[in-house]
């Protein structure tokens, strides 16, 4: 049985160029995903199979889109559009936006336990700055479970590969929305979502990236989590708390900004806090808003 699982995992990895992303992105996005890293552990092989199936399940991917929260600022403060993308009322209001009106868009990938009320604080900032936002809901998937149900995190590879598929799906659909300024799409990830942005952000066409509450550092037994792989020429903002669950975890402590000179357009902020959701803090929100303003194409 174990041999069959390993053969299956290897066969899927041989197919990787066909499903791990568009041409030109594979060199950056696949580093660290060496076959030995997946197949040494039979459980990892089963995880990879599940992730592969998810990637090819458009119905499941659409669930994260339909249950995504969308926010579009109004012509005046308080006259915003807010709700689920799958809501007919929301769709009608989006369709009624003035022709030619385009908004910068933040696509926000939540942490391991799903959307939180703290995202409302971000929307308040976005309204002031006239920025739209989309919050895909990974927990809407029928296969999705939290990777961090308690104090610790399992770091299951299939969860992160599934989140990668959701990220690609969300960016692809967002780029086709008439009210989105496609020159100003920003990809932001927190925790588990931040890991997805760091690992596979190069696979989507966006203006800039923000990685929060993730260290880009992993122990030898999990090499696929190692590194910051956003395009070198694109701006990236790195925000971490000084004492979050990752900064003190053996093997995972480190920094995405730990390689001076390689990411010359990276800005790094370390907040003196143990709070995982750094965007619940005014300092985290201010840093993100300043970053979006600086790198917005005008």
Q: Which pLDDT tens digit goes with each residue over 3-24?
A: 333 333 333 332 333 333 332 3
DSSP state of 175: T
CATH number of residue 266's parent domain: 3.40.50.1820
- From residue 94, give the alpha-carbon distance in Å to each of 88, 132, 179: 10, 12, 8
Element housing 37 (H / E): helix 35-39
- Whether residue 161 lies inside any domain: the answer is yes
What is the band of 264 on the pLDDT scale with cuts at 50, 70, 90? low
Between 275 and 133, name the one with better pLDDT.
133
The predicted pLDDT at position 77 comes to: 73
φ/ψ region of 291 (left if φ > 0, alpha if ψ in -120 to 50, else beta) reads: alpha
Q: What is the mean pLDDT of residues 183-194?
A: 96
- Domain range for 93 is 58-294
Residues 6+ apart with CB under 8 A from 40: none
What is the band of 96 on the pLDDT scale with cuts at 50, 70, 90? very high
User: Does position 142 have pLDDT exceeding 60, yes or no?
Assistant: yes
pTM value is: 0.81
- Whether residue 43 lies inside any domain: the answer is no
The predicted pLDDT at position 27 comes to: 33
- Whether residue 98 lies inside any domain: the answer is yes
- Whether residue 240 lies inside any domain: the answer is yes
Question: Cα 290 to chain center, whole Å?
Answer: 20
Closest CA to 205 of 185, 189, 188: 185
d(CA 134, CA 84): 9
Exposed/middle/buried for residue 187 (C-beta within 10 Å: 0-12, 13-18, 19+): buried
Q: What is the mean pLDDT of residues 237-262?
A: 75
Closest CA to 183 of 172, 191, 175: 175
Count Cα neighbours of 81 within 13 Å in the Cβ-side half-sphere. 22
SS3 18: helix
In total, how many domains does the chain have? 1
Residues 6+ apart with CB under 8 A from 26: 16, 17, 20
d(CA 53, CA 63): 15
User: Quick count: other Cβ atoms within 10 Å of Cβ 145?
Assistant: 11
Q: What is the mean pLDDT of residues 235-252?
A: 82
- Whether residue 260 lies inside any domain: the answer is yes
Element housing 63 (H / E): helix 58-66
The predicted pLDDT at position 296 comes to: 93
Q: Tens of pLDDT along 73-93?
A: 988 777 899 999 999 999 999
- Whether residue 23 lies inside any domain: the answer is no
What is the band of 48 on the pLDDT scale with cuts at 50, 70, 90? low
Round the average pLDDT of the chain to a whole number and report it.
79
Q: What is the mean pLDDT of residues 105-124?
A: 89
The predicted pLDDT at position 39 comes to: 41
- Whether residue 127 lies inside any domain: the answer is yes
- Whether residue 236 lies inside any domain: the answer is yes
User: Does position 152 have pLDDT exceeding 70, yes or no?
Assistant: no
């Amino acid at each position: 049985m174990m041999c069959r699982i390993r053969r299956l995992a290897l066969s899927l990895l041989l197919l990787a160029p066909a499903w791990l992303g568009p041409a030109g992105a594979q060199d950056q996005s696949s580093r660290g995903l060496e076959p030995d890293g997946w197949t040494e552990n039979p459980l990892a092989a089963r995880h990879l199979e599940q992730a592969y199936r998810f990637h090819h399940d458009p119905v499941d991917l659409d669930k994260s889109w339909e249950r995504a929260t969308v926010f579009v600022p109004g012509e005046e403060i308080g006259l915003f559009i807010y709700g689920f993308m799958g809501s007919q009322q929301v769709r009608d209001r989006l369709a009624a936006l003035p022709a030619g009106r385009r908004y910068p868009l933040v696509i926000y990938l939540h942490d391991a336990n799903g959307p939180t009320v703290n995202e409302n604080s971000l929307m308040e900032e976005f309204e002031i700055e006239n920025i739209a936002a989309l919050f895909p809901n990974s927990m809407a998937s029928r296969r999705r479970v939290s990777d961090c149900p308690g104090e610790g995190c399992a770091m299951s590879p299939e969860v992160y590969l599934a989140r990668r598929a959701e990220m690609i799906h969300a960016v692809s659909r967002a780029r086709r929305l008439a009210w989105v300024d496609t020159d100003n799409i920003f990809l932001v990830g927190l925790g588990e979502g931040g890991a997805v942005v760091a690992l596979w952000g190069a696979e989507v066409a966006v203006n800039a990236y923000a990685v929060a509450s993730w260290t880009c550092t992993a122990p030898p037994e999990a090499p696929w989590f190692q590194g910051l792989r956003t395009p070198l020429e694109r701006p990236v903002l790195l925000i971490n708390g000084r004492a979050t669950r990752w900064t003190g975890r053996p093997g995972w402590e480190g920094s995405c900004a730990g390689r001076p000179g390689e990411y010359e357009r990276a800005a790094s902020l370390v907040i003196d806090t143990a709070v995982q959701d750094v965007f619940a803090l005014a300092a985290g929100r201010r840093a993100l808003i300043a970053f979006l303003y600086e790198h917005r194409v005008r």
